[in-house]
Amino acid sequence: MNIFPKMTNLFLTSLIITATPLFAQSQNSLSMNEQINVLGQTKPIPVSLDGFTGEAAEVLKFDLYVQGFSFVAPDAAQYQISGSSAGDVTGRVTDKFAKKVVLSRSYNGASMRRQAHAFADDIVQTILNKPGIGQTKIAFKAQSAGGSGEIYVADFDAHNAQAVTTDNTIVAKPAWVPGKLAVYYTSYARGNPDIFYHSLSSGQRRVIAGYSGLNTSAAVSPDGSKVAMILSKSGSPNVWVCNADGTNLKRLTTGLEDSSPCWSPDGQWICFATKIAERRRLAKVSASGGPIKTLNTAGAANPTEPDWSPDGKWIAFTRQAGDFDICVMPVDGSLAPAVLVAGQNPSWAPNSRTLVFNHEIGHRQVLSVLDVFTKQYKDCVRANGSNSQPAWAK
């Protein structure tokens, strides 16, 4: 089996940041209310930014914008963010309404970019009382024009991208192992669409599902012990589940056209797309097997590619109504699906409010990061050619 270069440094560099808190206060009373009436219509929190230049300013604007903040003039800001990126990053956040400093901190021990991500995370934690996403990772497929694809991993904004595979063949559907430096993905490296497990720390990989026909769309259970996938070994593509090493394989569905499994955060259910009476539907099935239950996606035709938020409250999915759109709905069906932006392949961040997805610009697929509650989004840098099928590490 092929051995690929170790990628540990990509991840460990984000762990050596030293933060010196000069003053910090959690603003619990100002936490974002997630039980909003209508998705995509929350007003962003107005902040101003002063004293930061170059890469640090770019990072702060990107990170905060896709987590529900907007940038305004100082006199219109609820929070005034000031500091310096000359040398190391130092930052201060002042609550203009309360007339007091709520965060003051300095950073060192890592690159300017990672220091700025760490400051953005601390701002989010202070104001929203939620962990930030600035130091999280994604995996995705990158494909050159007219060429084959490779699996990449990168920071959540697609910076510092590194290739995981060098197969020079068709690849698809990367999926992270929760809490580990490892991914599953589909590759034609052996001439058939097989599912591989790949350790990013050692570079070693092995085949988990290499049955005749289609082996794709691996989705790892929250505890990392099980893998759901789509196999066509018994005829039609259906949802199967097995142990993380590929053993103890069990078929869960028998539909004619199943796809895109994902797990509920408690590990009890697997949501997937299927076709019933010639109509595309979303459904769920117990991870131990049993009858399927369809989900109500009224108003969002042809749903596919579901992803269950880590907090268990939301399901994001793609609808196809001529073009592709990103939709989100509450799991309990209390609200109709909200159509947010054009795109496909949504994947939740650990914060359960931000999505990464891909959409088309000039005949190429580009990764974008979306704040679900405000509908604000920004395009990521492009690693190589078309970038698609992103998966956020949890």
The pLDDT value recorded for residue 2 is 36
**Interatomic CA distance for residues 257 and 242, integer angstroms:** 20
- Neighbouring residues of 196: CB distance < 8 A, sequence distance ≥ 6: 184, 185, 186, 187, 189, 205, 206, 207, 208
Q: What are the CA-CA distances from residue 324 to residues 32, 89, 282, 364 (Å)? A: 29, 40, 16, 14
CATH 2.120.10.30 in the chain is located at 137-392
Instruction: Look at residue 4 in the predicted model and tell me its pLDDT.
Output: 38
Residue 10 in 3-state DSSP? helix
Ramachandran category for residue 306: left, alpha or beta (phi over 0 → left; psi -120 to 50 → alpha) = beta
Q: Quote the pLDDT of residue 333.
A: 84
pLDDT at residue 147, as a whole number = 75
- Given this model, what pLDDT does residue 7 score? 52
CATH of 8-128, one of 3.30.160, 2.60.40, 1.10.3470, 3.10.530: 3.30.160
Sheet containing 162-163: order of strands: 162-163, 149-155, 137-143, 386-392
For 137-392, CATH number out of 2.120.10.30, 3.20.20.60, 3.30.70.1400, 1.20.140.10 equals 2.120.10.30
The DSSP line for 152-190 is EEEETTSTT-EES----B-EEEEEEPTTSSEEEEEE-TT
Find, among 128, 126, 152, the residue nearest to 138 by Cα: 152
pLDDT tens-digit profile of 127-173?
999 999 999 999 999 998 777 899 999 999 999 999 999 999 999 99
Radius of gyration for the alpha carbons in the chain, expressed in angstroms and rounded? 21
| Low-confidence stretches of the chain (pLDDT beneath 70) | 1-38
Q: Within 13 Å and on the Cβ side, how many CA atoms surround 79?
A: 23
Which conformational region is residue 375 in: left (phi greater than 0), alpha (psi within -120 to 50 degrees), or beta?
Answer: left
Give the closest residue to 188 by CA, choosing from 170, 212, 168: 170
Q: How far is CA 323 from the centre of its chain?
A: 22
Give the Å distances, CA to CA, from 167 to 8, 143, 163, 389: 20, 12, 10, 18
User: Would residue 380 be called left, alpha or beta, if left means φ above 0 and alpha means ψ between -120 and 50 degrees?
Assistant: beta
Within 8-155, where are the H helices? 8-12, 54-65, 112-128
pTM for this one?
A: 0.92
155's tokens: 């920071």
110-123 pLDDT tens trace: 999 999 999 999 99
